[in-house]
Structure 1
Amino acid sequence: MSNGKLRIVHCFRAPVGGVFRHVRDLAAAQAAAGHSVGIVCDSSTGGDFEEKLFAAMGDCLALGVHRIAMQRHVGPSDIASAWRSFQIIRKLRPDVLHGHGAKGGVFARLFGSLLRVPRSRVARLYSPHGGSLHHDEASLAGKFYFTLERAMCRLTDTLLFVSEYERQTYIRKIGKPRVPNTLIYNGIQPGEFEPVPARPGAADLLYIGTMRDLKGPDIFIDAVAMAQTQLGRNVTAVMVGDGADLPRYKARVAQHGLTDRVRFLPSMPARDAFALAHLVVVPSRAEAMPYIVLETLAAGKPMIATAVGGIPEIFGINSPALVRPDPASLAEKIAAALPDLDAYSRMMPQPVEVKSHFGTDVMAAAIERAYFGALQRN
């Protein structure tokens, strides 16, 4: 650390989705504040869209982007990827190692501890972002990961939670943290608070996210079919995103006879996708603090979201925009909202309210305070 400026390395596995968005925004804000920032993440995840995002970040990352193969689940290959990651991080000489997600959290805290042998001031911070907390505590996988989390807590200087739901889930499944912890909501950029109207010929509904069951694409597809029956008309939809399960969701659309009404498109910037439809739907089965909800509200788009994870902390627990994560509940809400979207839109939290709680400036300032607090305790 020199003149109050830090060398910060963010370690996480998959450069996709909300975790990647969080790291990009945080790294940009930290670089703008004069800190030197680098990234260590998986090389096998992501596609052309993510490569463009990395390229756009190049100028602000003084410590660079370092990508190596990291598999999703624990396995023998972790030994090689851990060793390679440690060699990279050691050369970067970080003051702060910030791990995101389960694997990033293990690597950051383990390597930060190893670096303390020759050096004394390496702050080790961990943001779960859901991660291992999504596992059922009664399952073998859950028992393994939660035992690992309890062990890793001893190597942690500060825990950062993105929602109160996430913090309470950590307490319930892992135990009360024995280290300092704080709640810091995700934040979005000032430019994202410009409205995005639907373009001519836009679809009724938009799903945007990773194509995996946790995010509920199957719930969305089933709900579209049910809502058509309730409305007595065709319902059109666009589904934006990539993932290994994409063929299965396309088959599900065909089974419902919706092929001519549900269009699939690859990953794209959220604000580009917002123009493709009138009503955004987030049908997730589990979340921590999803960026897509914040982005949608900032853009002035009406939306329906499942009342899971930290989502009710954005809307308020009694918001009419919230539904259970099942097709019947979602279809009923779609059928109620589509006939009068102007009236439904007035029920949404206003962008100015969202900005005051969920701006990148608020998020980055709070995380910087957590970094310096962890370093002062070392």
Structure 2
Amino acid sequence: MSSSQTPSYGPLHAVQVLGATAGAHVSSLAGGLVARGVDVTVCGPAEAAEAYGFAATGARYTPVEIGGRPSPRADALAVAALRAACARADVIHAHGLRAALLASLAVPAPRRPALVVSWHGAEPASGSRGGLLRLLERRVARAATVVLGTSSELVDQVRRLGARDARLAPVALPGPRLDPERPGADPECARQKRRAELGAVDRPLLLAVGRLEPHKGYDLLLDAARDWRFLEPPPLVAVAGEGGCRPALQHRIDTEDLPVRLLGRRDDIAELLAAADLVVLPSRWESRPLIAEEALHAGVPLVATAVGGIPELVGDAAALVPHGDARAFGRAVTTLLADPDRRARLAAEGRVQAATWPSEDDTVAQVLSVYDELRAG
């Protein structure tokens, strides 16, 4: 359904509850809802308001500390703030597990608005932490009126957890990071300048993007990089992201003399993509990784682990390998570097695959149809 076909929702009041993830998606959704006449309040971490441009969406933004470290006091304050913000809501839409849990606790009684949960998934855990995670997931799945899963795997998962109504709702790729060109800039000149800054003028450049956390699989990437040292010339692996694993990763890079650079948090991902020869995604689990979407959309060949929602997302437009097999991952990269024709085919197939994904307008229209159904019900 196009925006011109989408009916105006007049006085409908929707509260978006944002945790530590999906900020770009919620900003896009809020702007689309406001443009269609919905009264939108966004509740989320104070720093997310500026980071994701919520002021430009036309939605009200209420700072609520949802994405920080859980504690009884912090959770109680968050629930109280959400209860006040949701007092007159027709629909509460929570994004992520913790946001959904707090929203479910804050839903006002006796007039309970519908609770929609966008299920982005979480890193699989084991032991006592895994048991607690499964309990929380089950509680949220059963509390939600409708769960929107970002991949078919997640929809199946949430149904097994006891959700009353679970539907596939892929998240659209936000547009702003896709165009690396600036007015008046020569794309090839900008590309070479970025490669020179990274130290990859006469060598292949591999790009990885994501938080430096265990589930991102950077240990496997470093294992593969050991063999790349002996290529001529050896490729440079640039990793954009920050996180708790940085000291351990840097220690390995230094002691094993690996051709890897940790770039830290970056706001120039589009430019880095334009400079890269390949994107590498070694994750242990992913739902719908933004960097995979961006790579295919930009025509940069992708080597990724076949986990979570990645195979469904990329189809045949990427080189997929089993997780945990560093040698297979390394071979997939070296094979592509040696085969420019296959890289060109993957680049073209990636753009074709990206054209099948929903647009931001499609995503807003689907969410509106859910809200309308719930209000009518």
TM-score bucket of the superposed structures, by smaller chain: 0.7 to 0.9
Residue in structure 1 matching 2:90, options 86, 90, 95: 95
Q: 1:269 and 1:52, CA in 2 relative to 1: closer, same or farther beyond 3 A?
A: farther
2:171 maps to amino acid: N
- Counterpart in 1 of 2:3? none
- Counterpart in 2 of 1:219? 220
- Counterpart in 2 of 1:355? 355
Residue in structure 2 matching 1:76, options 63, 72, 76: 72
Higher relative contact order (CA 8 A, sep 6+): 1
- Counterpart in 1 of 2:54? 57
User: Percent sequence identity over matched residues?
Assistant: 27
Q: Matched residues in 2 for 1:169 and 1:87: separation? A: 29
Q: 1:319 and 1:298, CA in 2 relative to 1: closer, same or farther beyond 3 A?
A: closer
- Counterpart in 2 of 1:252? 252
TM-score (norm 1): 0.83
Q: How many residues align?
A: 352
- Counterpart in 2 of 1:7? 13
Q: 1:5 and 1:227, CA in 2 relative to 1: closer, same or farther beyond 3 A?
A: farther
Aligned partners of 1:281 and 1:304 also within 8 Å? yes
User: Deviation at 1:36?
Assistant: 2.6
2:248 maps to amino acid: R
- Counterpart in 2 of 1:123? 114
Q: Matched residues in 2 for 1:213 and 1:61: separation? A: 37
> Which ranges in structure 1 are unaligned for 5 or more consecutive residues?
none
Q: Matched residues in 2 for 1:286 and 1:24: separation? A: 25
- Counterpart in 2 of 1:66? 63
- Counterpart in 2 of 1:241? 241
User: Deviation at 1:320?
Assistant: 5.4
1:159 maps to amino acid: V
- Counterpart in 2 of 1:338? 337
1:223-261 Cα distance to aligned partner (Å, 9 max, x none): 2222333x34322121111223222222221122136x5
1:208-237 Cα distance to aligned partner (Å, 9 max, x none): 1111111122222222222333x3432212
1:306-334 Cα distance to aligned partner (Å, 9 max, x none): 11111101222x66511122322211111
Residue in structure 1 matching 2:128, options 140, 161, 168: 140
1:89-146 Cα distance to aligned partner (Å, 9 max, x none): 246x32221111111111222222xx242x35x2201122113x7234xx32232232
Q: Matched residues in 2 for 1:290 and 1:5: separation? A: 34
Q: Matched residues in 1 for 2:56 and 2:28: separation? A: 14
Q: Matched residues in 2 for 1:320 and 1:79: separation? A: 41
Q: 1:169 and 1:210, CA in 2 relative to 1: closer, same or farther beyond 3 A?
A: same
Q: Matched residues in 2 for 1:168 and 1:8: separation? A: 27
Aligned partners of 1:42 and 1:70 also within 8 Å? yes
Task: For residue 225 of structure 1, give the secondary structure of its aligned residue in structure 2.
Answer: helix
1:67 maps to amino acid: V
Aligned partners of 1:306 and 1:322 also within 8 Å? yes
Residue in structure 2 matching 1:182, options 167, 176, 196: 167
Q: Matched residues in 2 for 1:257 and 1:281: separation? A: 20
- Counterpart in 2 of 1:151? 139
User: Deviation at 1:3?
Assistant: 4.7
User: Deviation at 1:263?
Assistant: 4.6
> Which ranges in structure 2 are unaligned for 5 or more consecutive residues?
1-7, 182-186
Q: Matched residues in 2 for 1:60 and 1:70: separation? A: 21
Aligned partners of 1:36 and 1:61 also within 8 Å? no
Q: Matched residues in 1 for 2:9 and 2:313: separation? A: 37
Q: Matched residues in 1 for 2:16 and 2:279: separation? A: 31
1:333 maps to amino acid: A
1:254-306 Cα distance to aligned partner (Å, 9 max, x none): 122136x5252422243132134221111111111112111111111111111
- Counterpart in 2 of 1:200? 192
